[in-house]
Chains A and B, each alone.
Chain A
Amino acid sequence: MPPPESFSGASSGAGSATPTLAGPPTTVPPADTAALAGAEGAATAGERAQRLGWGAKLAIGWLVLVVAAALLAPVLPLDDPYEPVGAIARQGPGTDGHVLGGDSLGRDLLSRLVWGARMSLLISVTSVLLGMVLGGLLGLLAGYFRGRLDKAFVGVFDVLLSFPQLILALTLVTVYATGEGVSSTRRITVLIFALGVVSIPVLGRITRATTLTWSQRDFVHAARAMGARNRSIMFGEVLPNVLPAMFSIALLGIAVVIVAEGGLSLLGVGVQLPTPSWGNIIAEGRGSLRDAPHIVLAPTVAIFLTVLALNYLGDVVRARFDVRESAL
């Protein structure tokens, strides 16, 4: 695990939520702290955070750290991730004050890791959001109206799920964003879209299943008996109850997509070099695994910890949601 002090610039951003990881004072204003915690979603202020277990606190701490580092990459005192600095190619952590050492071309690995976090998170979060919006909408409609619409949408989900997900994404990226003259932006957009399509059926199915149970509740009948329209029942009454389940799956989804992006990079259709992402740092460092294992190890550990934290938090959210449901 990368030592926390290596991210000291960002770690105090997590100060209030994760006292254990609080680093030396920095220039990050407190307002940003709240915004970051909010963006993280799982980190809530006040009493709720007090009741979280150690595991959840550590998970939130790590995620806040990663998100803060990713967001603040341009202002952090890091080397240029695109230019070699000195003779540190393949040199291990600590060489010449470069905390994680250099990559195979002599660029600062820490800098590439932080900028890579930016790219990996951008891709995973937006593609899962895309899946959440589209899959959620389809699932909500299917679960609420049932009947033929439900059968059709579930059919779509099943078909999408029956493709091996990596192959589906690989195909989409290969068809729409490979070859000469494909810009980096286009590649990233298509990646997001491809991974979003992959997460539609997963989020769609969980939304549908949860909607099915919630839309049978009496308060839905009661709202109908008061003359409410389907639209307002669906979005006003049912959706707020379905969101916790969607959210817990979305957290797991982000984890899956981070790994999937790594896989696509290894297959050569991830984010285009020299733009770093966790996946393509691994792909690039693969060649020097024998003499410079730290190049592959650093992003791998970052992915491992992030995926672990997301999975753990996903479970925490689900547990919370279940408890609340049974209490009613």
Chain B
Amino acid sequence: MIGRRKQVTAVADAPPAHGRRLLEVEDLATHFVTPRGLVRAVDGVSFSLERGKTLGLVGESGCGKSVLSRSIMGLLPSNVERHGSVEFEGQRLDQLGPAELRSFWGTQIAMVFQDPMTSLNPVMRIGRQITEPLRFHFDMDRGQAEKIALSLLESVNIPEPARRLRQYPHELSGGMRQRVVIAIALACGPKLLFADEPTTALDVTVQAQILELLRTQQRERDMAMVLVTHDLGVVAGHTDEVAVMYAGQIVEQAPTRTLFSSMRMPYTAALLQSIPRLTNASHTRLNVIAGRPPDLLDPPPGCRFAPRCPYAQDRCREEQPPLIEADEPGHLYRCWYPVGTDEAREALERNLAAHVPQAELAVSGDMTRAAEVEAALEGAGAAAGPAAYESDGSAADGPDGTPADQADASADESDGSSGDTAGGTEASSGPDGAEVEIGGSD
């Protein structure tokens, strides 16, 4: 309703010659220039998104999913090199200057941030935070903007909206604040919304409400959405298409239904297996993906998942698999030995025969060995020590989330402190933390 009100940018009046296609990302690479070298946070990502559709962007912490969304918007710090093209309604966003980009932000593309505790200004009333973008994008007067703010708060199901407008963020609960954040993002009627882990900081019951809210808003406004998350459960219920990212690349991409029915990439399969089942007996060991994501300063030459993959062969370690199309339309994956094929079964048997630890772990499900595998992998990939990974993680993905720690956490559980020394990260999230996080998805 708000989006149709008034269009200010010239682009918005351009004829919709490209039909339903809204966003086209082609071979996008985002590299951070750091004192230690080039961090390849996003490395050759391509995808497209149609109007009104939702793309789920899934992966562990530090895989580049947050950087990818910021990179598409052009919201990056200055120590960044960006290559490739980003086309929004036929307009090359990557070639626009800062002032032109600003006219897109808010009105065409908006973003919901992860933590509603920090994404609202603590010293500004809610009302002003919602009306401000309306006033500078559409030149509205205070009264008009406040009317719209009121209707926005109503539409995101905030009780007593008139009173909320005059409140400060600290007077609202976390879920309420995230609704406000969403209201702000929707204020100027964007056609594309990036939701960067919008529910990670909220508790499970509120998560579902917020996701439902995003879905209804999206339908009402015919708005496309990129839902960044580490939670496959969220993705299953709320997206049309899923792209799984690993170490800065898309490793598998498919319509959501296809992905879950016939996944090809061992990494996707491993992610899915690491979700605890409600049907499991109590105190079942959690499944883990042994090891940790590679150092983005110096990624492995072959497949980036190879060091952790139960199916990995020599070819995987030497030659990077291309993103190829599966039998189903629109299903892309990046693997030499895709899950479910005879080649993969043979590869796994070879690995088992050779006592490759992660293969044995994956097959036996014997999580008491997780720490052992962890240690073996750390030894093999000693080049990228824990410290190296830590800094990459923060550069690439910010201090979000725990999934990368999941492995550590469960390893700890299985083998006391040895997992800790191997992992090198704090296990404060603990097995319980991991369980809650994923548990909400089932």
Chain A residues close to B by CB (< 8 Å): 147, 217-219, 221-229, 232, 236-237, 240-241, 324-325, 327-328
Cα distance A225–B104 when bound, in Å?
Answer: 9
- Smallest distance from the beta carbon of B54 to chain A beta carbons, Å? 19
Known: A219-B120, A219-B121. Contact between A227 and B181, CB under 8 A?
no
Q: Is the CB of A222 within 8 A of B119?
A: yes
Q: Which residues of B contact A241 (CB under 8 A)?
A: 121-123
Q: Is the CB of A222 within 8 A of B124?
A: no
B118 at the A/B interface (Cβ < 8 Å)? yes
Q: Is the CB of A225 within 8 A of B78?
A: no
Cβ-closest chain B residue relative to A216: B118
Cβ-closest chain A residue relative to B190: A226
Known: A225-B73, A226-B105, A227-B103. Contact between A218 and B115, CB under 8 A?
yes
Cα distance A241–B121 when bound, in Å?
Answer: 8
Q: Is the CB of B102 within 8 A of A227?
A: yes
Cα distance A164–B117 when bound, in Å?
Answer: 43
Cβ-closest chain B residue relative to A237: B121
Cα distance A224–B170 when bound, in Å?
Answer: 22
B358 at the A/B interface (Cβ < 8 Å)? no
B106 at the A/B interface (Cβ < 8 Å)? yes
Q: Which residues of A contact B111 (CB under 8 A)?
A: 222, 225
Cα distance A175–B75 when bound, in Å?
Answer: 50
Known: A221-B113, A222-B113, A327-B170. Contact between A227 and B136, CB under 8 A?
yes
Cβ-closest chain A residue relative to B121: A219
Q: Is the CB of A228 within 8 A of B133?
A: yes
Q: Could you pull out 25 A-B pairs where Cβ atoms are within 8 angstroms? A: A147-B78, A217-B118, A218-B114, A218-B115, A218-B119, A219-B120, A219-B122, A221-B75, A222-B113, A222-B120, A223-B121, A223-B132, A225-B75, A226-B110, A227-B102, A227-B104, A227-B106, A227-B107, A227-B137, A228-B102, A237-B124, A240-B121, A240-B124, A324-B122, A328-B122
Cα distance A325–B170 when bound, in Å?
Answer: 10
Q: Is the CB of A236 within 8 A of B132?
A: yes
User: Per-residue 0/1 for B173-190: is the Cβ within 8 Å of any A Cβ (1 yes, 0 no)?
Assistant: 000000001001101100
Number of A-B contacts (CB under 8 A): 74
Q: Is the CB of B136 within 8 A of A232?
A: yes
Q: Size class of B's contact patch?
A: 20 to 34
Q: Which residues of A contact B78 (CB under 8 A)?
A: 147
- Smallest distance from the beta carbon of B93 to chain A beta carbons, Å? 13
Q: What DSSP secondary structure best describes chain A's contact surface? A: helix
Cα distance A81–B121 when bound, in Å?
Answer: 51
- Smallest distance from the beta carbon of B334 to chain A beta carbons, Å? 30
Q: Which residues of B contact A327 (CB under 8 A)?
A: 170
- Smallest distance from the beta carbon of B273 to chain A beta carbons, Å? 33
Cα distance A177–B235 when bound, in Å?
Answer: 73
Q: Is the CB of B75 within 8 A of A228?
A: no
Cα distance A217–B113 when bound, in Å?
Answer: 11
- Smallest distance from the beta carbon of A230 to chain B beta carbons, Å? 9
Cα distance A219–B111 when bound, in Å?
Answer: 11
Cβ-closest chain B residue relative to A145: B78
Among A228, A236, A241, chain B packs the most CB atoms within 10 A around the CB of A228
Q: Is the CB of A225 within 8 A of B136?
A: no
- Smallest distance from the beta carbon of B35 to chain A beta carbons, Å? 15
Q: Which residues of A contact B64 (CB under 8 A)?
A: none
Q: Is the CB of A328 within 8 A of B113?
A: no
Q: Is the CB of A228 within 8 A of B118?
A: no
Cα distance A222–B106 when bound, in Å?
Answer: 10
- Smallest distance from the beta carbon of B90 to chain A beta carbons, Å? 20
Cβ-closest chain A residue relative to B168: A328
Q: Is the CB of B75 within 8 A of A226?
A: no
Q: Is the CB of B118 within 8 A of A229?
A: no
Q: Is the CB of A218 within 8 A of B113?
A: yes
B266 at the A/B interface (Cβ < 8 Å)? no
Cβ-closest chain A residue relative to B114: A218
Q: A219: which of B106, B119, B133, B188 is its contact (CB, 8 Å)? A: B119
Q: Which residues of A contact B117 (CB under 8 A)?
A: 328
